[in-house]
Structure 1
């Protein structure tokens, strides 16, 4: 007896490696985690450059001034060359002056300015020691405040007349040194003192004056670099270069020399005061 059996489908032969799991990549094996975007690197703001305290920026570009003088072939004075090279300041409606600077400026504005010059005679065996013979002080305008001869305290061995202009009769009946000294101290009190080689004058008077209130035309470095290649310039040379005026053609006169020093300061005071301010803050 035949039995009908259901036809079984024949299984197709299994292909090799058919059921093996497919290899997964490292990317697929990573857990499903949201990746964070890398944060932007933090950078410090740029540091502003330090202010230059070079001579060129101390109120005046001295190289340009010298070039202007050379281009003019000596027909231009130093202040004219300074004005020709100075850039006009841009107008500003904002007040950038600090309270301390305003206070210092007001204090300086109240200070009077005077110029002093002294004539000396020689004492000692060779006449090499200095002794005060005449002192002259003038205002900013050139007006004479004091002009006095001083009685000698020692025996004069060299009147140095060709330079000092002093003769025996000038100081024979002069005023006593102590009296003149006290008058000078009172006159200079709280004032800006201008002069050429002024420390020598103060030494012969045996007095002191605050260095911050001294404007010595022999020690103003930017001017010395320009006029005499860094060496100490004479007052005569400075007067010719800056004022276009010849002085000391013969015997010296302390009033004339004091006025010349004051005129030099007046012509350069803007640049001079800027130079002092920059130098002062550079040492802080």
Structure 2
């Protein structure tokens, strides 16, 4: 593995680092920032943008992963890159032999987001991995296609579970339409989106493993799986299939916004001149699977271009979405053990809650709280009982501590989705939380919302100082929580004189307080020197 990493291109190494960050993985020296702090005593994690680090640093970090499943994940991404290179080489050497279907497979696999989206933990026992077999020529030339789509709900641990699966063949014939029984209790059916109700699942008996078995007879050698955002469906179905066409990666907008992922609704309007569903109507996985297949057939059989212009109607839809953002609040860093129902104890008013599942099992989840107007959203934010703090982009948010029905105390953050006339994408903001200090040359928003760009030369020192200040504030919050827990343990000890377990916990907390005090002192000394 170390040799493969050492000979990989830098862009691949950067992709790998971003992937393990996104999935919250840790090597022998911890995560990316912990590694930088121990590996580079001079800059540490103040320069954490992997694209600005040397290959040696990236390789050293990735080589620190020793767990079997982590190594398999890295190997899979490296293999994806190797496959992309082979496909590109095949195209260059034999451009006339590439079928339209194969071209779309190539466009999907060579997309920059493919290694991130399709890096599945398929080493796990409950995953189904298709085999290509020995007859590679037949596999490559196969034009058999199957489009699939799933409807998902949110379970009590914050994870997503598939509850309905639809699949159509190349002739748009429905070959699968089944409800699936989730393995965990459902806390949000998202009926207005999925169209699935609790009653629909009362008689459901099929499991994910049962659906995998049903799909096996369709996924014969060379079958191409088709879908829009197909990786999401394969993730919940726990299926790893090599030949895929993802219409969200194949089609893209022309002009300045060509990096944005087009929606299935917009693609149907632009490419097919069809309405996928009536405004406000719930999804139907069979219809969505058929729509993805129609898009692929439009390219394969009619030669439709994959580069599409943005119409005035699309821009109007974006404007509507922006207006909707103004009427919502974004809650993030919500512990997985906090039921979404208890969020109503944090936010006042009449609203709908759209829960976003955690990126890893047991991790934090987030939620959008949607009101009927921007005024109501602003009023609700003002009434939130919490301390105003700045996020990593300098925008205001509230840190809220609240008591659960169970009696325990939890904490989360609340911010407006749109601040000072500027849209703040919830997804972008949550990614920013996970990847703090992405570059010394980053944007800083002042309180008056005036945006300035910090130049690389002469600014890294100020960036480091700012990072220290933020780190001190975070440590102070942790220290405050630790002291409170310490006091609780002391009270419990008074009631239970000889409870050795509690005594050990108290000692551990005291050591933690002492360590955090030292860290704050050291950081303050560094600030004085600067």
**TM-score computed with the length of structure 2 as normaliser:** 0.30
1:175 deviates by: 2.9
Partner of residue 219, structure 2: 188
- The change in CA–CA distance for 1:273 and 1:242 in structure 2 (over 3 A counts) is closer
**Pick from 156, 161, 176: which aligns with 1:124?**
156
For residues 133 and 274 of structure 1, the distance between their equivalents in structure 2, rounded to whole angstroms, comes to 31
Partners of 2:148 and 2:166 within 8 A in 1: yes
1:229 deviates by: 2.5
Q: Which has the higher strand share?
A: 2
1:273 deviates by: 12
For residues 138 and 298 of structure 2, the distance between their equivalents in structure 1, rounded to whole angstroms, comes to 21
For residues 216 and 300 of structure 2, the distance between their equivalents in structure 1, rounded to whole angstroms, comes to 24
For residues 218 and 261 of structure 2, the distance between their equivalents in structure 1, rounded to whole angstroms, comes to 28
RMSD of Structure 2 on Structure 1 (CA): 3.1
1:243 deviates by: 0.5
1:8-50 per-residue CA deviation (whole Å, 9 max, x = no partner) reads xxxxxxxxxxxxxxxxxxxxxxxxxxxxxxxxxxxxxxxxxxx
Partners of 1:152 and 1:172 within 8 A in 2: no
Partner of residue 235, structure 2: 203
- The change in CA–CA distance for 1:135 and 1:218 in structure 2 (over 3 A counts) is same
For residues 151 and 117 of structure 1, the distance between their equivalents in structure 2, rounded to whole angstroms, comes to 16
Q: Which has the higher helix share?
A: 2
1:173 deviates by: 1.2
User: Where has structure 1 moved over 4 Å in runs of 4 or more?
Assistant: 103-109, 270-275
Matched, 1:114 2:146: yes
Q: Describe how 1:150-165 pairs up with structure 2 within 5 A.
A: 150-165=180-195
1:258 deviates by: 0.4
For residues 274 and 203 of structure 1, the distance between their equivalents in structure 2, rounded to whole angstroms, comes to 25
Partner of residue 261, structure 2: 232
Partners of 1:185 and 1:207 within 8 A in 2: no
Partners of 2:179 and 2:206 within 8 A in 1: no
Partners of 1:135 and 1:149 within 8 A in 2: yes
For residues 247 and 286 of structure 2, the distance between their equivalents in structure 1, rounded to whole angstroms, comes to 16
- The change in CA–CA distance for 1:274 and 1:163 in structure 2 (over 3 A counts) is closer
1:64-106 per-residue CA deviation (whole Å, 9 max, x = no partner) reads xxxxxxxxxxxxxxxxxxxxxxxxxxxxxxxxxxxxxxx9886
Q: Describe how 1:41-190 pairs up with structure 2 within 5 A.
A: 107-124=139-156, 128-177=158-207, 178-190=209-221
1:149 deviates by: 0.4
- The change in CA–CA distance for 1:166 and 1:147 in structure 2 (over 3 A counts) is same
Structure 2 stretches of 5 or more lacking a match? 1-91, 93-98, 100-134, 308-530
**TM-score computed with the length of structure 1 as normaliser:** 0.54
1:184 deviates by: 1.8
**How many residue pairs are counted as aligned between the two chains?**
170
1:269 deviates by: 2.3
* Bigger mean CA deviation after superposition, 196-205 or 164-173: 164-173
Larger Rg: 1
SS at match of 2:176: strand
1:132 deviates by: 0.6
Partner of residue 297, structure 2: 266
1:272 deviates by: 8.9
For residues 226 and 273 of structure 1, the distance between their equivalents in structure 2, rounded to whole angstroms, comes to 11
Structure 1 stretches of 5 or more lacking a match? 1-52, 54-58, 60-102, 276-284
Partners of 2:298 and 2:304 within 8 A in 1: no
